[in-house]
Chains A and B, each alone.
Chain A
């Protein structure tokens, strides 16, 4: 099997958070081919915040034609992704996944790497909300 895989984009207020969560997800998803994953953290100038341009670039870089699942952390990350989707500035088949950032990223990447379609990737990431910790 070597069809196109769903791409994942991690949008955080912080470049380090986005990169670190990407590294964690890649580490836990390893063991075979891993779906394309890109981090879009912080502003274009390297500060805390959200960059629409970084998000669009990240989405284009992971788009293989099977859709792109975006996970966002807080406030402007979520609002910027929603706005880009409404303005149709992201690749066709892009969607914002309603999921906790770290757990959702791992779950989405593992599922996408197994060749699952976008709906399954989104559902799997959202399921991470159901795991109560206390």
Chain B
């Protein structure tokens, strides 16, 4: 069973990964985006860590909802409402339980990813974060490590895709050949989840 502390550790680990990879995310966002993905997420996740420390939410659902709300109000780019919706919706699904099972988390993440797809009007293959999130969450049924690897492979698989959503879609065929920054940060998020889970079991 996973408690609030596990979810806090997931997000703190994700924040460290974002900090470590911020320059690379921004680099990936330069040829096809507006070159702010790393700095936007860094601002957002730094605020998440601060808010979690200040408010100390006591149940998993509240941890994720606070994190989601913080991302929505601090990121400043499209990844704010998208990741914010992912975490808030997942947190809402987890409700007020003090501890949740891995299966509860998997089901809740499914709902979170579906909410992201609905908000952005995107589907796998559009060269977005969904290309990492959808295979990643699907592989959660196997293990957290499998989910992280599936998400990483999903991010790599965006390279030959043509973007159909967001700023990159304006480039048409010129978006081909670049890895999607959103799929890359989504892979970081699932890698952080695996790291948090491995630290515990």
What residues make up the interface of A, taking CB atoms closer than 8 Å to B? 43-44, 47-53, 74-76, 79-80, 82-84, 86-87
Q: Could you say which of B48-56, B71-79, B151-159, B183-191 contacts chain A?
A: B71-79
Question: Are A76 and B78 closer than 8 Å at their CB atoms?
Answer: yes
Question: Are B77 and A76 closer than 8 Å at their CB atoms?
Answer: yes
* Interface check B120, CB cutoff 8 A: yes
Number of interface residues of B (CB under 8 A): 20
Interface centre among A44, A48, A52, A82 (most CB of B within 10 A): A52
A43 to chain B: closest residue by CB: B76
Q: Determine chain B's interface SS by DSSP, over half rule.
A: helix
Residues of chain B within 8 A of A84, CB atoms compared: 72
Residues of chain A within 8 A of B78, CB atoms compared: 75-76, 79
Of the candidates B34, B72, B167, the one whose C-beta lies within 8 Å of that of A80 is B72
Question: Are A49 and B40 closer than 8 Å at their CB atoms?
Answer: yes
Q: Which chain B residues (16-62) contact chain A, with CB distance < 8 Å?
A: 34, 36, 40
Residues of chain A within 8 A of B166, CB atoms compared: 75
Other A-B pairs beyond A79-B81, A83-B119, A84-B72, 15, CB < 8 Å: A43-B76, A47-B76, A48-B34, A51-B73, A52-B80, A53-B73, A74-B167, A76-B76, A76-B78, A79-B82, A79-B119, A80-B80, A82-B119, A83-B84, A87-B88
What residues make up the interface of B, taking CB atoms closer than 8 Å to A? 34, 36, 40, 69, 72-73, 76-82, 84-85, 88, 119-120, 166-167
A53 to chain B: closest residue by CB: B73
In the assembly, what is the distance between CA of A49 and CA of B40, in Å? 10
In the assembly, what is the distance between CA of A87 and CA of B80, in Å? 14
Question: Are A79 and B76 closer than 8 Å at their CB atoms?
Answer: no
In the assembly, what is the distance between CA of A49 and CA of B85, in Å? 18
Contact A76/B81 with A43-B76, A52-B73, A83-B72 known, Cβ cut-off 8 Å: yes
Question: Are B80 and A76 closer than 8 Å at their CB atoms?
Answer: yes
